Amino acid sequence: MPPTAADLYLDLLKKVLTGTLAGREPDVDDPAYVEGFLAHYIRGHALTMTPLVRLDNARHCVEQALAHGVPGDLLEAGVWRGGMTIFLRAILAAHRVTDRRVWVADSFEGLPAPDAKKFPLEARAHASRTMAEDFQHFAVSEADVRASFAAFGLLDDQVRFLVGWFKDTLPAAPIDRLAVLRLDGDYYESTMDTLTALYDKVSPGGFVIIDDYGERLWTYCRRAVDDFRRARSITAELIKVDTKCYFWQKPA
Ligand SMILES: C[S@@+](CC[C@H](N)C(=O)[O-])C[C@H]1O[C@@H](n2cnc3c(N)ncnc32)[C@H](O)[C@@H]1O
């Protein structure tokens, strides 16, 4: 089957958002990943720090939800420069979907400082020179993210911003249902706060994507997910996207 216009648009957009039209993305499994990450994402112009394969996974989840009529909006908790959420909005546009929204949730001030007693690994990473000075705790302003949406012609009523810490914004967010919930807040509490506030809004048949489930060097994201799944007796299979990112489908 030749690619459709939607395929061609989303494929090109994916390359633009990841900065891979001209350059190659760093390999998440390369021991020198941090240097590559700094050069490609932090000092570069990519609008998402997620690798191509994770954009493919997001597209797969959204298109499955559309194909099977799984009701609800799309939400990413932790957006940095907004590229993944721009991609989510573009998928809706490519399929001419006008009755679903994309929620863009972030402090727009970067990662919160973890409690050093409860989360020593995260606290050490948070205080490191690389995180504080080079990554600036991943702080990107709401204005910059809005400007990037607008640059692609995708800033409209179907895009909603939730500005602030997840624990404050997500429980009261005026969201009825979610078809895709994407978590990329890195830390234990950011992950737990998101799951606690939003998991029950994920429709049966909907998807939960955990960007950092496989990251053990500097976050307790996996522990938060495992704790939540155990507490809620969730046994749906965790499916690997790459060594860091996993997702599951809520049973229908
Ligand atoms: C790794 S970045 C997200 C990368 C992004 N998904 C992308 O496509 O490039 C983590 C983001 O989570 C946000 N964040 C983490 N914990 C948060 C919290 N508890 N409340 C609000 N924002 C949070 C940070 O501000 C940062 O923008």
Question: What distance in Å separates the CA atoms of residue 161 and residue 88, rounded to the nearest whole number?
Answer: 14
- Residue 182 pLDDT > 90, yes or no? yes
Ligand 1, residues 79, 161, 192: which to mutate, most atoms within 8 A of Cβ? Answer: 79
Residue with structure tokens 């991609």? 87
How far apart are the CA of 185 and the centre of ligand 1, in A? 4
Distances (CA, A) of 110 to 92, 181, 231: 27, 20, 29
| Segment 4-50, tens digit of pLDDT | 999 999 999 999 999 999 889 999 999 999 999 999 999 999 999 99
How far apart are the CA of 2 and the centre of ligand 1, in A? 37
* Pocket lined around ligand 1, Cβ cut-off 6 Å: 48-50, 76, 78-80, 83-84, 106-107, 110-112, 138, 165-166, 184-187, 190, 193
Half-sphere exposure of 20 (CA within 13 A, CB side): 20
Question: What distance in Å separates the CA atoms of residue 82 and residue 43, rounded to the nearest whole number?
Answer: 16
Q: What is the largest CA-CA distance in the chain?
A: 56
Beta strand 102-106 pairing with 159-163? parallel
Position 72 confidence tier, pLDDT thresholds 50, 70, 90: very high
User: What pLDDT shows up at residue 22?
Assistant: 85
Position 219 confidence tier, pLDDT thresholds 50, 70, 90: very high
Nearest to 76 by CA among 98, 61, 97, 94: 61
Could you tell me the fold of the domain covering 49-249? Rossmann fold (3.40.50)
Tally of CB atoms within 10 A around 20: 15
- Mean pLDDT across the stretch 224-235? 98
Phi, psi of 76 (to 5 degrees): -115, 130
Ligand 1, residues 87, 106, 137: which to mutate, most atoms within 8 A of Cβ? Answer: 106
* DSSP secondary structure, 113-150, as one string: PPPTTT-HHHHHHHHSHIIIIISGGG---HHHHHHHHH
Which is the closest atom of ligand 1 to the Cα of 166? Answer: 20
% of the chain beyond a pLDDT of 70: 100
β-bridge partners, 248:
208
